[in-house]
């Protein structure tokens, strides 16, 4: 059912019912009814807005494999993001962390290149 899928993805994304409802511009009670399968036929427009907020392709909701949606995201990463959110870190700050992570990756790559260069020079 589409309601179960929305619920599962919302939880994976670390969103509360209120947050998703607000971002999708629908009432909390309406979203709750959808998730509990009390409203089994929400409008396409509503489903599109929910999909957009959840950053999921609209077609994913229509798939017969709804329970198998893994989003290609490791559960540890989902948990980590949820922890960041709970600690008060917002999207803008997460973008700053991304820059820091890119720097660390670059630094590690350079260190590995230097190590490889050093071992090649020692061989001669």
Over residues 4-50, the pLDDT tens digits come to 889 989 998 899 999 999 999 999 999 999 999 898 888 889 999 99
Give the pTM: 0.52
90-104 residue pLDDT tens: 777 777 888 888 889
- Rounded Cα distance, 111 and 31, in Å: 50
- Closest to 28 in 3D by CA, of 20, 38, 37, 40: 20
Confidence of residue 57 (pLDDT cuts 50, 70, 90): confident
pLDDT reported for residue 66: 43
Mean pLDDT lowest for which of 52-61, 101-110, 113-122?
A: 113-122
Instruction: Give the CA diameter of the chain.
Output: 74
How many CA within 13 A on the CB side of residue 46?
A: 19
């Amino acid at each position: 059912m589409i309601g179960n899928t929305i619920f599962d993805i919302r939880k994976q994304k670390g969103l509360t019912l209120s947050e998703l409802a607000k971002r999708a511009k629908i009432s909390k009670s309406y979203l709750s009814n959808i998730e509990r399968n009390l409203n089994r036929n929400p409008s396409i427009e509503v489903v599109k807005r929910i999909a957009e907020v959840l950053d999921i392709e609209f077609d994913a909701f229509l798939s017969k494999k709804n329970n198998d949606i893994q989003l290609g995201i490791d559960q540890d990463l989902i948990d980590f993001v949820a922890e960041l959110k709970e600690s008060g870190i917002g999207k803008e700050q997460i973008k700053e962390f991304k820059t820091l992570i890119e720097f660390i990756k670059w630094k590690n790559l350079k260190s590995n290149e230097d190590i490889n260069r050093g071992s090649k020079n020692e061989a001669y």
